[in-house]
Structure 1
Amino acid sequence: MSTSTPRTRGIRGRFRSRATAALTALLLPLAAMVGLATPAQAATSATATYTKVQDWGTGFEGKWTVKNTGTTSISAWTVVWDFPSGTSVTSAWDADVTSSGTHWTAKNKSWNGTLAPGASVSFGFNGAGPGSPSNCKLNGGSCDGGTVPGDNPPSAPGTPSASNITNTSVVLSWTAATDDKGIKNYDVLRDGTKIATVTGLTYTNTGLTAGTDYSYTVQARDTADQTGPVSGARAVRTTGGGDPDPGPGGKVKLGYFTNWGVYGRNYHVKNLVTSGTASKITHINYAFGNVQNGQCTIGDAYADYDKAYTADQSVDGVADTWDQPPRGNFNQLRKLKQQFPHIKILWSFGGWTWSGGFPQAVQNPTTFANSCYNLVEDPRWADVFDGIDLDWEYPNACGLSCDTSGPAAFKNMMQAMRARFGSNNLVTAAITADASSGGKIEKTDYAGAAQYSDWYNVMTYDFFGAFDADGPTAPHSPLTSYTGIPQAGFNSADAIAKLKAQGVPAAKLLLGIGFYGRGWTGVTQAAPGGSATGPAPGTYEQGIEDYKVLKTSCPATGTIAGTAYAKCGSNWWSYDTPSTITGKMTWAKNQSLGGAFFWEFSGDTSNGELVSAINSGLG
């Protein structure tokens, strides 16, 4: 086996892409309460809300919704807005739409102008150009929550950051909102309820409960007391109180969730609940985002935030609506965190297939880090993610392609990520386990980068497999070396020892477990070391099969180097079982490692046998 390929050509690198049928509707901050009263009638108020329903590149579909939020009826409505030059309405329905230059006016039809209190009506249009509406007015009043024509509402403040978290308090800080007439103050909301109004950009919330999860947002108020949209949410867990998050002495129990698993594998976030897995893990790495043109980008828009879930598929039993932003895995993960608030979620970028974008990205680490932060902290899903994971295969070495960025490139990237994401977000990386002489661990300054990393996921699997079609057969995830191992340094113990020797703290190393096996066919020898004729058949890819299949189709017949193997007919497989995982967890604790991670959830049984073994093994 070539030392350049101890990582999978499939299991981590396999991904599915799918063109998005319709981009998630993005709610723009144009909704507002508008007074429509005459001196002789009670005040009536309404909202006008815009959504972009679809965007197909050369055009888009937009929708306005007018809702009567007052106590008296509205007999007619007119919505006006401005588009930037180059953006226009090409056709419309359920309203009469006209324009004067870049100024657009929509009036109700004869049959939809009257709105009783609480009623709403929508009209839509097809448009051309890239712009978004601005300067919205409804029935002559500005769309700003008041009756001040020409005074727009404030923008959303930045998502608050959290610092100095104790058992009973947290310090919140945020970037300023903007307003055409000036900002008066900010409302601070905890779990959706206003707890304070402040004039500055920081607030200290005291009197909290130890070991408790809270969610904070901020909303700006202008000099006319008009409020704008709320900021993105910041999740905070106070310390103490039996905090389930790993701290001193605690262990990380992390699994990868793949966005493509929702297709052929039919594995969804809800499976984490029904299998009992959610209560036994501490972290999830969501895989993968892409790295393109020096930036972090969306991996699969449909799976990530557009796929609609029915009530029976959803974590909380509530179906997605057609215009809900976002849907897909992001919304399901949000619901999972609501039920299991101890779980932290990181967005993982790269992987075997998409690591080719890192060499360009690290040429300007600061710009790269800014792009990643802006994507992870996008207001539509900022509350879902607690940090970022970088899966570069491999810095200054060869994976699917070869990199020559130099031994400092990885450290420079991690330093920039930490500077941008700050101390309140997790910054981690998946790294090589190639401890061979002159191998990948020696090619990069992993020790130098460790000071900026919360931990490393050491990929202690895929050492051997049917990518060497004629064998020799060998366990793909050996814990230790053994007599006859095909390549010295290709085992977990050697990898961990080498990283420690270079100066990476043991507590920042997680042991990797594969929830799948690797196998050959044409094998006559039951013990490891036999010759083969090629990869064994697999459900999704030759030479690879999930544990949940192998446990019954080819039960283990022996163990070597801390992992199991099995021969069934002419097929030979190696994989971890609950028993071998228990042994590996004991080893990890004896080595004072930070915990363990695994690739990936869908390979486990429906009752989470392997996750249970990790959880009980680490304690």
Structure 2
Amino acid sequence: MRFGHRAAAGFATLLLPLAGLVGLADSAHAAAEATSATATYTKTQDWGSGFGGQWTIKNTGTTAISSWTLEWDFPSDTKVTSAWDASVTNSANHWTAKNTWNGNIAPGASVSFGFNGTGSGSPSNCLVNGGSCDGGPTVPGDNPPSAPGAPTASGITDTSVKLSWGAATDDKGIKNYDVLRDGKTVATVTTTSYTDSGLTAGTDYSYTVQARDTAGQTGPVSGSVAVHTTGGTTTPPPPGGKVRMGYFTDWGIYARNYNVKNIVTSGSASKITHINYAFGNVTGGKCAIGDSYADYDKAFTADNSVSGVADTWDQPLRGNFNQLRELKAKYPNIKVIYSFGGWTWSGGFAEAAKNPAAFAQSCYDLVHDPRWSDVFDGIDIDWEYPNACGLTCDSSGPAAFKNLMSALRAKFGKELVTAAVTADGSAGGKIEATDYAGASQYVDWYNVMTYDFFGAWDAKGPTAPHSPLTSYNGIPKDGFTTADAMAKFKAQGVPASKLLIGIGFYGRGWTGVTQDAPGGTATGPAAGTYEQGIEDYHVLKTACPTTGTIAGTAYAHCGSNWWSYDTPATIKSKMAWANSQGLGGAFFWEFSGDTGNGELVSALSSGLS
């Protein structure tokens, strides 16, 4: 999870610098292809402080298009901050996008690229390959259709759902409708209803509809409807609320002196729904105990015990496991999940992936040991990273993670099965190395580790927020943001409701810094209580108060030290963004970084809706 979690350098650039005028397509190219392409724009998301947009370029001609250039104007207050699947530049308010890998468009086919932006404006004066985006040579012609009404769902079964929607309008007439499931077209129909079948039981889906006119132009996407199929073995989030989950570390009871009881005394127990207990080991292809003394042997005194009663030498179960049992007795709504792996022990998953069924059996036997079988409500897998590199490199292949999660689901049945996953949203990065979409059918949710993007492992800097929500001018690596990671997962096919946003209850920092704003040089990691370059929030809030915010995360410059960390205010803004994205909730690493009165947990819990 967090200890040793590093963002590797050297990822491919996703978006070229948004500056400088890009030359337009040459006149011969424009003349040849101007009337054979259209372009339509859709605002895909809006989270208040920013938005997501998508352009779709369609070849409406009879010959293939070999490349494309799209131009449009935004009002002065509206800007593109990051993009994917296109190279986007600007000169003042005029924006230009050129194809990257997706220049070839066959007749009748289309390609899309997306971007994140700030501001409230809409594009105007659109040109594609020098011609009007609606298919006319230089002047507006046929208007695209309107958005259909948001679909409604009925007749939901284990494997199917009937969708109906209000008709779109168009000045020349509607030809048909595309039905999109989780952002991907699954059918094209001429009526205003469709029954989608072949679905997975007990699974969340999101549906939208898009109209096409007689000229082949597509209009904006409709509003969405969420569908949860009946049956199945997965466990949805608690009724009436999002997942609010925190990590409790077995080693926290030592130097940090943070015990399960502190979850109660801080007021956090009443504000969470789940706890991930970290970590169990993965060795020899099996799940194993991580720290037997902390886990089930340490005797807690009365003042450190949830129940207020001291452990005895001869009681059947002591340690953190017994404290978690006492916690659940006081707060029966809390579910506890046993998490295996983490940065240090993820090297064991390569052996486990060779025999997923045997691994799942070993984990089931350990989680359900008769001594603590009532403590845990499921299992979490923290593999850093399947088919990619963390502390060690894995070459199990893109299907290994899916196979492992499938085996765990088969063994654990209706119990919780979750996984902590990478937040590397860069082009060619870790998300693309694994079939997370295929595995998502077997998990209740993914804990997306949207922190530790930047830190003092790059000893000279540049200083940068370790948990940016969105991109910003000067970000050291494109794609290293929460928004990029979530967009990448959703584009791959992972339902938004199975994605949890991650919050670090700590900061990362450098020393030898003279510049207040991000992007400064440094001489090395700042001193920390337990590790260089890292410090708990409850220390930083007074030792180095915030100077400003960047990309949704606070930063602080005090003396020669520069830190970035989340505060109650930035956490609330991130929760608002998570709500707008339809995410399944949030989690944090980890309890001991919070204040004694749990102010970060309070901000996270109250911010979700």
The TM-score normalised by the length of structure 1 is 0.61
Distance, in Å, in 1 between the alignment partners of 2:269 and 2:241 is: 17
Q: What residue identity is the alignment partner of 1:252?
A: V
Q: Which residue of 1 aligns with 2:349?
A: 358
Distance, in Å, in 2 between the alignment partners of 1:596 and 1:539 is: 27
Q: What residue identity is the alignment partner of 2:521?
A: S
Alpha-carbon RMSD: 1.5
Distance, in Å, in 2 between the alignment partners of 1:305 and 1:442 is: 39
Query: What does 1:80-229 align with in structure 2 at a 5 Å threshold?
Result: none
Distance, in Å, in 1 between the alignment partners of 2:593 and 2:302 is: 25
Q: Which secondary structure does the structure 2 equivalent of 1:450 belong to?
A: helix
Q: Which secondary structure does the structure 1 equivalent of 2:393 belong to?
A: coil
Q: Which residue of 1 aligns with 2:383?
A: 392
Task: Determine if the alignment matches structure 1 residue 596 to structure 2 residue 586.
Answer: yes
- Tell me which of 438, 445, 470 is aligned to 1:448: 438
Task: Determine if the alignment matches structure 1 residue 492 to structure 2 residue 482.
Answer: yes
Q: What residue identity is the alignment partner of 2:362?
A: S
| Residue 585 (structure 1) shift | 0.2
Q: Which residue of 1 aligns with 2:89?
A: none
Q: Which residue of 2 aligns with 1:478?
A: 468
Task: Determine if the alignment matches structure 1 residue 571 to structure 2 residue 566.
Answer: no
Are the aligned partners of 2:280 and 2:339 in contact in 1 as well (CA < 8 Å)? yes
Q: Which residue of 2 aligns with 1:35?
A: none
Are the aligned partners of 1:253 and 1:283 in contact in 2 as well (CA < 8 Å)? yes
Q: Which residue of 2 aligns with 1:511?
A: 501
Task: Determine if the alignment matches structure 1 residue 278 to structure 2 residue 250.
Answer: no
- Tell me which of 280, 298, 309 is aligned to 1:318: 309
| Residue 10 (structure 1) shift | 6.2
Q: Which secondary structure does the structure 2 equivalent of 1:312 belong to?
A: helix
Query: Residue by residue, what CA displacement relative to the aligned partner does 1:330-389 show, whole Å, maximum 9, x if unpaired?
Result: 000000000000000000000000001000011000000000000000010010000000
Query: Residue by residue, what CA displacement relative to the aligned partner does 1:49-70 show, whole Å, maximum 9, x if unpaired?
Result: xxxxxxxxxxxxxxxxxxxxxx
Query: Residue by residue, what CA displacement relative to the aligned partner does 1:57-103 show, whole Å, maximum 9, x if unpaired?
Result: xxxxxxxxxxxxxxxxxxxxxxxxxxxxxxxxxxxxxxxxxxxxxxx
Task: Determine if the alignment matches structure 1 residue 610 to structure 2 residue 600.
Answer: yes
Q: Which residue of 2 aligns with 1:148?
A: none
Distance, in Å, in 1 between the alignment partners of 2:366 and 2:342 is: 18
Distance, in Å, in 1 between the alignment partners of 2:266 and 2:547 is: 27
- Tell me which of 279, 286, 289 is aligned to 2:280: 289
Q: Which secondary structure does the structure 2 equivalent of 1:330 belong to?
A: helix
Task: Determine if the alignment matches structure 1 residue 370 to structure 2 residue 361.
Answer: yes
- Tell me which of 547, 552, 556 is aligned to 2:542: 552
Distance, in Å, in 1 between the alignment partners of 2:598 and 2:253 is: 18
Q: Which secondary structure does the structure 1 equivalent of 2:303 belong to?
A: coil
* Matched positions, count: 382
Q: Which residue of 2 aligns with 1:9?
A: 4
Distance, in Å, in 1 between the alignment partners of 2:2 and 2:264 is: 30
Are the aligned partners of 2:507 and 2:536 in contact in 1 as well (CA < 8 Å)? yes
| Residue 311 (structure 1) shift | 1.0
Q: Per the alignment, do residues 431 and 612 of structure 1 end up closer, same or farther by CA in structure 2, a change over 3 Å counting? A: same
| Residue 324 (structure 1) shift | 1.2
Q: Which residue of 1 aligns with 2:453?
A: 463
Are the aligned partners of 2:5 and 2:390 in contact in 1 as well (CA < 8 Å)? no
Are the aligned partners of 1:8 and 1:462 in contact in 2 as well (CA < 8 Å)? no
Distance, in Å, in 1 between the alignment partners of 2:606 and 2:241 is: 13
- Tell me which of 398, 408, 415 is aligned to 2:399: 408
Are the aligned partners of 1:276 and 1:608 in contact in 2 as well (CA < 8 Å)? yes
Unpaired runs of 5+ in structure 1?
1-5, 13-243
| Residue 246 (structure 1) shift | 3.1
Distance, in Å, in 2 between the alignment partners of 1:324 and 1:573 is: 46
Query: Residue by residue, what CA displacement relative to the aligned partner does 1:474-518 show, whole Å, maximum 9, x if unpaired?
Result: 000000000000000000000000000000000000000000000
Q: Which residue of 1 aligns with 2:200?
A: none
Task: Determine if the alignment matches structure 1 residue 299 to structure 2 residue 290.
Answer: yes
Q: Which secondary structure does the structure 2 equivalent of 1:367 belong to?
A: helix
Aligned residues with identical type, % of pairs? 77
Task: Determine if the alignment matches structure 1 residue 587 to structure 2 residue 577.
Answer: yes
Q: What residue identity is the alignment partner of 2:563?
A: W
Q: Which residue of 2 aligns with 1:268?
A: 259
| Residue 323 (structure 1) shift | 1.2
Query: Residue by residue, what CA displacement relative to the aligned partner does 1:432-461 show, whole Å, maximum 9, x if unpaired?
Result: 000111100000000000000000000000
Query: Residue by residue, what CA displacement relative to the aligned partner does 1:215-269 show, whole Å, maximum 9, x if unpaired?
Result: xxxxxxxxxxxxxxxxxxxxxxxxxxxxx99346520000000000000000000
Are the aligned partners of 1:245 and 1:282 in contact in 2 as well (CA < 8 Å)? no
- Tell me which of 241, 248, 255 is aligned to 2:246: 255
Q: Which secondary structure does the structure 2 equivalent of 1:538 belong to?
A: coil
Q: What residue identity is the alignment partner of 1:580?
A: T
Q: What residue identity is the alignment partner of 2:316?
A: P
Q: Which secondary structure does the structure 1 equivalent of 2:442 belong to?
A: coil
Are the aligned partners of 1:254 and 1:598 in contact in 2 as well (CA < 8 Å)? yes
Q: Per the alignment, do residues 411 and 245 of structure 1 end up closer, same or farther by CA in structure 2, a change over 3 Å counting? A: closer
Unpaired runs of 5+ in structure 2?
8-234
Query: Residue by residue, what CA displacement relative to the aligned partner does 1:180-234 show, whole Å, maximum 9, x if unpaired?
Result: xxxxxxxxxxxxxxxxxxxxxxxxxxxxxxxxxxxxxxxxxxxxxxxxxxxxxxx
Q: Per the alignment, do residues 328 and 11 of structure 1 end up closer, same or farther by CA in structure 2, a change over 3 Å counting? A: farther
Are the aligned partners of 2:236 and 2:444 in contact in 1 as well (CA < 8 Å)? no
